[in-house]
Amino acid sequence: MSHHVQSMIQGFIQYLQLRFNKPVRYAATVIYIVQTILYTGVVVYAPALALNQVTGFHLWGSVFATGIVCTFYCTLGGLKAVVWTDAFQMVVMIVGFLTVLIQGSTHVGGFCNVLEQSANGSRLHIFDFDVDPLRRHTFWTITVGGTFTWLGIYGVNQSTIQRCISCKTEKHAKLALYFNLLGLWIILVCAVFSGLIMYSHFKDCDPWTSGIISAPDQLMPYFVMEIFDTMPGLPGLFVACAFSGTLSTVAASINALATVTFEDFVKSCFPHLSDKLSTWISKGLCLLFGVMCTSMAVAASVMGGVVQAALSIHGMCGGPMLGLFSLGILFPFVNWKGALGGLLTGIILSFWVAIGAFIYPAPASKTWPLPLSTDQCIKSNVTATGPPVLSSRPAIADTWYSISYLYYSAVGCLGCIAAGVIISLITGYQRGEDIQPLLIRPVGNLCCFWSKKYKRLCWCGVQHDSVIEQENLENGGNWKQGAQSVLPNGLRRESLVHVPGYDPKDKSYNNMAFEITHF
Task: Give me the residue spans of the domains in the chain.
Answer: 3-305, 432-464
| Pairwise pLDDT comparison (424 vs 517), residue with the higher score | 424
The tens digit of pLDDT for each residue in 203-258 reads 888 888 888 887 787 888 888 888 888 887 778 777 777 777 777 777 778 887 88
| Pairwise pLDDT comparison (217 vs 379), residue with the higher score | 217
Is the sign of the CA dihedral 484, 487, 488, 491 positive or negative?
negative
Closest CA to 144 of 363, 399, 319: 319
Mind giving me the DSSP string for 409-443?
A: HHHHHHHHHHHHHHHHHHH-PPPGGGS-GGG---G
Mind giving me the DSSP string for 163-209?
A: HHHTSSSHHHHHHHHHHHHHHHHHHHHHHHHHHHHHHHHHTTS-HHH
Q: Domain 3-305 - what CATH class?
A: mainly alpha
**Three-class SS of residue 513?**
helix
Residues 6+ apart with CB under 8 A from 158: 12, 13, 32, 36, 256, 259, 260
Closest CA to 30 of 294, 277, 281, 324: 324
| Pairwise pLDDT comparison (20 vs 431), residue with the higher score | 20
SS3 string, 217-243, reads: HHHHHHHHHHHCCCCCCHHHHHHHHHH
The count of C-alpha atoms lying within 13 angstroms of the C-alpha of 277, restricted to the half-sphere facing its C-beta, is 7
Closest CA to 54 of 231, 282, 210, 246: 231
Q: Residue 319 belongs to what H/E stretch?
A: helix 319-330
Distance CA 505, CA 231 (A): 61
Instruction: State yes or no: pLDDT of 301 exceeds 60.
Output: yes
8 A C-beta contact, residue 157 and residue 255: no
Supply the pLDDT for residue 197: 93
**Three-class SS of residue 502?**
strand
Return the number of other C-beta atoms located less than 10 Å from residue 409's C-beta.
33
Supply the pLDDT for residue 345: 97
The tens digit of pLDDT for each residue in 431-447 reads 877 788 888 877 766 66
Supply the pLDDT for residue 30: 92
The tens digit of pLDDT for each residue in 149-206 reads 999 988 888 778 877 877 888 888 889 889 888 888 998 999 999 999 999 999 888 8
Strands 508-509, 502-503: parallel, antiparallel or unpaired by DSSP? antiparallel
8 A C-beta contact, residue 376 and residue 114: no
Distance CA 115, CA 200 (A): 9
In degrees, to the nearest 5, what angle opens at C-alpha 161 toward C-alphas 17 and 176?
155
pTM over 0.85: no
Average pLDDT value over all residues in the chain = 78
**What is the distance between the terminal CA atoms of the chain, rounded to a whole angstrom?**
33
